[in-house]
Structure 1
Amino acid sequence: MPTLLADWHYRPLHRRVWALAGPMILSNLTVPLVTLVDSAIAGHLPNAHDLGAVAVGGSVYTAMVGVLGFLRMGTTGFTAQASGRADGSALRQILLQALLLAFGLAFGLMVLSWFFLGPLLGLMKASPELAITTEAFFNLRLLGLPAALASYALIGWLLGTQNARAPLAMLVATNLINLGLEVLFVFGFGWGVKGIAAATALAEWCGAGLGLWLAWATLKQQAGTLHVKALKYWQAWRPLLSVNRDIFIRSLVLQSVFFLMTVQGTRLGESTVAANALLLNGLMLTSFALDGLAHAVEALTGHAIGARDRTTLRRAMVIASGWSFLASLGFALLFAMGGSLFIDLQTNISSVRLEAYAYLPYLAALPVIAMASYLLDGLFIGATRAREMRNAMVIAAALAFPIGLLLQGLGNHGLWLAFLCFMALRGLVLGIQAWKMTQHNVWIP
C-alpha cells in the first residue's frame, strides 16, 4: 500500500497521463461529428429519401469501418514498444505494415460491398427511390474507405509514439473540411446526396494526408532504416496479423452482445427498445472519457514495456486507475442526479421517457462497473497481449449468456442486469489474467 500511495503522488506521470488522455478524449468526441454533419445537411434537402439514403448508407459504412477498429488498437501497442526501445527501424516497418494492411482491407471490402449492398437493401425492403439514392451515396462514400482505414492505422501509430495531439489534429481537420465541402457541394453546386458523399470522402483523404505528414515529421526525429525486403516474409507479418486477428474476434463478440441486447429489447416493445437506445447513449458518453484514459495506458505501458521500465509500468497503471475510478464516480453521480434531464434532452415522447426513467439506476451503476474493463483493455493492448483480451471477452460473454436466459422473466430489468454482469465479468476475467501474468513476471520478463 505505501508503494501504491507513492506511485499515486508521482506528479510527473500525472502530467504525462493527461497529456495523452486529454487530447484523446477530445478526439473521441469528434468521431460521431462526420455522421451528424452528413445527417444535418441531408435533413435540409427536399426529399425524405435523401435523408434516408444518408442514414442507411452511412450506417452500413460506419458498421463496416467500425469492425476494423483493430487497425488502430493493434498498431498502438507495437509502436509504443518500439518507441520505448528507441527503435526507429521498427517504427518505420510497423507504420508501413499497418498502412499496407489498411489499403489491402479497404480494396477487398470495396469489391465485396458491390455485391452485398443490393441484397441488403432488398432485405430492408427499401423503396426504389431510397435504394437508388442509397447506392449512389454509398458507392461515392466508398472512395474514402482506404483513407478512413489508413487514418485508423496512423492514429494508432501516432498514439504509440505518445503524440496524442496529432490524432486530434487529424480528426478536427477532417470534420472542418467535411463541413466546408458539404456546404459548398450541396448548397453551392447543388449536388445533393452525391455532394455529401463526395465531400466526406475527400475530407477523409485530407485527414489521412495530414496524418502521413505528421508521421513523416515524427520519423525524421528517429534514426533508423526501413527494411522493405523483410516484408516479403511471413515472419515479419505474423505478430501484427495475430494481434489484429484476436482484436477482431474480440470486437465481433462485443458487437454481438450489443446486437443481442437490441434484439431482446425489440421483443419487449417499441418504447423499451427506444429507451434502451437512449440509455446506451449514456454508455457512449462515458466511454469518451474512460477510453481516453485507456488510450493513455496503451501508450504509456507499451512504452514502459519496450524500455523494460517496471517502475513506470506500475505507476502508469496506478495513476490511470485512480483517475478512471474518479471519472467513473463522476459519471455515476451525473446519471444518478441528472439522468432524467439526460433522457429529456434526447426525446419528448412521454412513453419513452417514462420507460427510460425506470432503468436509470442501471445506467448510474454502469460507469463504475465498466471502468476496469476499459482500463485493462489499455494495458493488454499496450502489451500486445490480444489473445488474452480475446479470451476474456469470449469467457465473459459465455458466462453472461446463461445469466441472461435465467433473468428473462424479469423483462427489461433482467436484460440490464445481464448486461451489467457481462461488463463486470469482462473486468473480472481481465483482472484475474493480469494478476496471474504479474505473478509470473510476464509483462517484462
Structure 2
Amino acid sequence: MSALLDAWRHTPTQRKVWALAAPMILSNLSVPMVALVDTAVVGHLPHAHQLGAVAVGGNLYTLLVWVMGFLRMGTTGFAAQAAGRTDGGALRQVLLQGLVLGVGLAVLLAVFAVPLSDAALRLMRPSAELDALAREFFQVRLFGLPATLASYALIGWLLGTQNARGPLAMLLTVNLINVSLDLLFVLGLEWGVVGVARAAVIAEWSGALLGLWLTRSALARYPGHLERAVLRRWAAWRPLLTVNRDIFIRSLALQLVFFLVTVQGTRLGDTTVAANALLLSGLTLTAYALDGLAHALEALCGHALGARDRMALRRSLVVAGAWSLLASVGFALFFLLGGGIFVGLLTDIAAVREMALAFLPYLAILPLVAVWSYLLDGLFIGATRAREMRNAMLIALALALPLGWLLQGLGNHGLWLAFVAFMALRSAVLGAYAWRLTQRDAWMGA
C-alpha cells in the first residue's frame, strides 16, 4: 500500500500525466460533442426517421473507420518506444508507415463500402424513409475516409512523441469546422441529413492537412534520418503489421457489438433505435473523456518501456488509474442525477425522450464497469502487446453473445443487460492478462 501511495504522491508523474491527459481529454470530448451537436440539430427536425438515419448511417461509417483504429493505437506504441530510445530514424519510419497504411486502406475500404452497407441495411430492415436517408448519408461520408485514416496515424504518432497539443489542435479544428458547417448546412441552407455528412467530410480533410503540418516541429526534436532501403524489407513492416492485425481483430469485434446493438434496436422500431442512439452518445462522451487518461498512459508506458524504467511505469499506472476511477464515478453520478437534462438537450421528440429516460440507469452503470477496459487498453497499447488485447475482446464477445441471445425476450432491457455484461467481461479478462504478465515480470520483454 505504501508503494501505491508513494507513486500517487509523485508530483512529476502527476504533472506528466495531466500534461498529456488534459489536452487529450479536451480533444477527445470534442469528438462526441460534435456527434451530440449532429444529434441535437437533426433531433429537432420533425421526423424520428431523420434522427434514426444519422444514427444508422453514422454507425455504418463508424464501423468502417473505428476498426481501423489500429492505425492510431499501433502507431502510438511504436512511436512512444522509439521516443523513449531517442531514435529519430525509427520515429520517421513509423510515421511514414502509418500514413502509407492509412491511405492504402482507405482506397481498399472504399471499394467494398457500398456493398457492405447494402447488406447491413438489409439485415437491419429499417423503414423505407430511414433506409434511403441512411444510404445517402453514408455515401457522402465516404469522401472523407482517406483523411480520417491519415489523421488516425498522425494523431497516434504525435501522441507517441508525448505531444498532446498536436492532436488537440487537429481534433478541435475538425470539430469546430464540423459544428459550424453543421449549423450552416442544416439550419441555414436546409440540406437536412446530407448537410451533416458534407460538414463532416470538409472538416476531416482540414484536420488531416493540419496534422501533416504539425509533424515538422515534432521531427525537429528528434534528429535522425529515414533509411528508405529498410522500408523495402518485410522485417521493417512485420512488427507494426502484426500489432495492427491484432488490434484490427480486437476493434472489429468491438464494433460488431455496437453494430448488433444498432441492428437489434432497429428491429424494435424507429423510436427505440433513436433512443438507444441518444444513450450511446452519452457512453461515447464518457469513453472519450476517460480515454484521455488512457492515451496519456499509452505514451508514458511506452516511453518507460523504451527507456526500461520500471518505476516510471508503475507510477504512471497508479496515477492514471486513480484519476480514471474518480472520473468514472463522476460520470455515473451525472447520468444518474442529471440524465433527464442530458436527454432533453438532444431531442424534443416526446416518444424518443420518454424511452431514453426509461433506460438511463444502464448508462449510469456503464462508466464504472467500462473504465478498467479503457485504462488497461492504454497499458497494452503502450507495451505494443496487442495479442492480449485481441484475445480479451474475443473471449468477452464469445461469452456475451449467447447471453444476448437468451435475453432477447426482454426486448430493449435484454439488449442493454447483455451490453453491460459484455463491457464487464472485457474489463475482467484484460485485468486477468495484466495480472499474469505482472506476475511473470514480462512487461519489459514486450
How would you bin the TM-score normalised by the shorter chain? 0.7 to 0.9
What is residue 30 of structure 1 aligned with on the other side? 30
Query: More displaced, 216-225 or 62-71?
Result: 62-71
Q: Secondary structure at the match of 2:384?
A: coil
Mapped contact 1:304–1:310 kept (Cα < 8 A): yes
What is residue 152 of structure 1 aligned with on the other side? 152
Mapped contact 2:56–2:262 kept (Cα < 8 A): no
Q: 1:33-432 counterparts in 2 under 5 A?
A: 60-113=60-113, 141-177=141-177, 200-266=200-266, 272-432=272-432
* TM-score, normalised via structure 1 length: 0.85
Alignment partners' CA distance in 2, 1:273 and 1:179: 23
* TM-score, normalised via structure 2 length: 0.85
Query: More displaced, 381-390 or 179-188?
Result: 179-188
Q: CA 1:403 to 1:297, structure 2 compared with 1: closer, same or farther past 3 Å?
A: same
Mapped contact 1:74–1:240 kept (Cα < 8 A): yes
Query: More displaced, 323-332 or 336-345?
Result: 336-345
Tell me the amino acid that sits aligned with residue 418 of structure 1: A
Mapped contact 2:272–2:355 kept (Cα < 8 A): yes
Query: More displaced, 355-364 or 237-246?
Result: 355-364
Q: Secondary structure at the match of 2:443?
A: coil
**Cα deviation 1:147-196 (Å, max 9, x = unaligned):** 22111100000011111110111122233445667889999999999987
Could you tell me how far 1:263 is from its partner in structure 2? 3.5
Q: CA 1:126 to 1:232, structure 2 compared with 1: closer, same or farther past 3 Å?
A: farther
Tell me the amino acid that sits aligned with residue 20 of structure 1: L
Could you tell me how far 1:390 is from its partner in structure 2? 0.6
Alignment partners' CA distance in 2, 1:59 and 1:410: 24
Mapped contact 2:66–2:251 kept (Cα < 8 A): no
Query: More displaced, 82-91 or 329-338?
Result: 329-338
**Cα deviation 1:259-308 (Å, max 9, x = unaligned):** 33334445556555444333323211211221111111111111111110
Q: CA 1:315 to 1:200, structure 2 compared with 1: closer, same or farther past 3 Å?
A: same
Alignment partners' CA distance in 2, 1:412 and 1:143: 34
Could you tell me how far 1:317 is from its partner in structure 2? 0.5
When the two structures are aligned, how many residues end up with a matched partner?
444
Alignment partners' CA distance in 2, 1:373 and 1:6: 25
Query: More displaced, 340-349 or 302-311?
Result: 340-349
Query: More displaced, 313-322 or 12-21?
Result: 12-21
Could you tell me how far 1:28 is from its partner in structure 2? 1.5
Mapped contact 1:56–1:134 kept (Cα < 8 A): no
Q: CA 1:32 to 1:8, structure 2 compared with 1: closer, same or farther past 3 Å?
A: closer
Mapped contact 2:56–2:134 kept (Cα < 8 A): no
Tell me the amino acid that sits aligned with residue 280 of structure 1: L
Aligned-residue RMSD, C-alpha? 3.8
> Which 5+ residue runs of structure 2 have no aligned equivalent?
none
Q: CA 1:178 to 1:265, structure 2 compared with 1: closer, same or farther past 3 Å?
A: closer
Q: Secondary structure at the match of 1:68?
A: coil
- Structure of higher CA gyration radius: 1
Q: CA 1:241 to 1:267, structure 2 compared with 1: closer, same or farther past 3 Å?
A: same
Alignment partners' CA distance in 1, 2:352 and 2:140: 36
Alignment partners' CA distance in 1, 2:43 and 2:353: 25
Percent identical residues = 65
Tell me the amino acid that sits aligned with residue 374 of structure 2: Y
Tell me the amino acid that sits aligned with residue 170 of structure 1: M
Q: Secondary structure at the match of 1:444?
A: helix
Tell me the amino acid that sits aligned with residue 301 of structure 1: C
Could you tell me how far 1:112 is from its partner in structure 2? 3.4
Q: CA 1:388 to 1:119, structure 2 compared with 1: closer, same or farther past 3 Å?
A: closer
What is residue 440 of structure 1 aligned with on the other side? 440
> Which 5+ residue runs of structure 1 have no aligned equivalent?
none
Tell me the amino acid that sits aligned with residue 223 of structure 1: P
**Cα deviation 1:120-165 (Å, max 9, x = unaligned):** 789989989x969966x76665443222211110000001111111
Alignment partners' CA distance in 2, 1:99 and 1:283: 30
Mapped contact 1:71–1:102 kept (Cα < 8 A): yes
Q: CA 1:210 to 1:270, structure 2 compared with 1: closer, same or farther past 3 Å?
A: closer
Q: CA 1:38 to 1:94, structure 2 compared with 1: closer, same or farther past 3 Å?
A: same
Could you tell me how far 1:441 is from its partner in structure 2? 1.2
Q: CA 1:189 to 1:69, structure 2 compared with 1: closer, same or farther past 3 Å?
A: same
Alignment partners' CA distance in 2, 1:217 and 1:373: 33
Alignment partners' CA distance in 2, 1:56 and 1:414: 20
Q: CA 1:370 to 1:49, structure 2 compared with 1: closer, same or farther past 3 Å?
A: closer
Q: Secondary structure at the match of 1:326?
A: helix
Alignment partners' CA distance in 2, 1:260 and 1:245: 22
Mapped contact 1:407–1:414 kept (Cα < 8 A): yes
Q: Secondary structure at the match of 2:221?
A: coil
Q: Secondary structure at the match of 2:68?
A: coil
Mapped contact 1:35–1:58 kept (Cα < 8 A): no
Q: CA 1:382 to 1:354, structure 2 compared with 1: closer, same or farther past 3 Å?
A: same
Alignment partners' CA distance in 2, 1:345 and 1:14: 35
Alignment partners' CA distance in 1, 2:363 and 2:126: 35
Q: CA 1:239 to 1:4, structure 2 compared with 1: closer, same or farther past 3 Å?
A: same
